Amino acid sequence: MAETTSDRTDGPLSSPTEIKKLREAFGAFATGVTVITTGGPAPHGMTANSFSSVSLDPPLVLVCVDRSAVMHRTLAAAGSFGISVLASHQESVARHFANRRRPLGIGQFEGIRWRPGRRTGAPMIEDAVAHFECDLWRSYDGGDHTIFLGRLLSLAREPDESGLLFCHGRFHRLDPEPRELSA
């Protein structure tokens, strides 16, 4: 597909229209959906699709958190965090932790099935496709976000479950019957 001049951005984004175009372009990349959590006296959770594996040796993952989010200060203070990769049937959980009006602290987990992580105590969402517990290893400036690198402490995986996807501003589910793409 050819690039058109109207879709190019050559400099800093300065208008709301340019920022909207950037969000839409970023949103064209399908991602998995996770809930990032921290434990301790004031546990917290946040829906995030900015999660990625980084390294096998040492085992590292990254999450990117907006500097204005409650999770930003909570994760930095906790020094450890959990990641639950949501299953295709957990859209309601994703929406719950994306709602900025939910209660803070342990109250935000009311009605959500979870268990404390074995290593960090961070809430791990039940029925998720995978769970990771991490120590905060490093953090880096990422513009209006911080990139948090976590060193893996433990993991668990449900091999027969498909994950929830997010693309073009909507949740999607994988086709339960994988198909070969034709050439």
| Residue 36 included in any domain | yes
Sheet holding 51-56, edge to edge: 44-48, 34-38, 80-85, 130-142, 145-157, 59-66, 51-56
What are the CA-CA distances from residue 166 to residues 22, 32, 93, 139, 160 (Å)?
A: 16, 6, 13, 25, 20
Query: Does residue 41 or residue 148 have the better pLDDT?
Result: 148
| Residue 59 included in any domain | yes
pLDDT of residue 173: 83
| Residue 178 included in any domain | no
Query: pLDDT per residue over 149-168, tens digit each?
Result: 999 999 999 877 789 988 88
| Residue 119 included in any domain | yes
Residue with tokens 């791990």: 124
| Residue 183 included in any domain | no
Q: Looking at residue 119, which CATH number applies to its domain?
A: 2.30.110.10
pLDDT of residue 175: 65
Is the CB of residue 92 less than 8 Å from the CB of residue 6? no
| Residue 54 included in any domain | yes
Query: pLDDT per residue over 47-99, tens digit each?
Result: 998 999 999 999 999 999 999 999 999 999 999 999 999 999 999 999 999 99
**Number of domains making up the chain:** 1
Query: pLDDT per residue over 95-138, tens digit each?
Result: 999 998 898 888 999 999 999 999 999 999 999 999 999 999 99
In the predicted structure, residue 2 carries a pLDDT above the cut 60: no
| Residue 159 included in any domain | yes
Q: Which domain holds residue 155?
A: 32-165
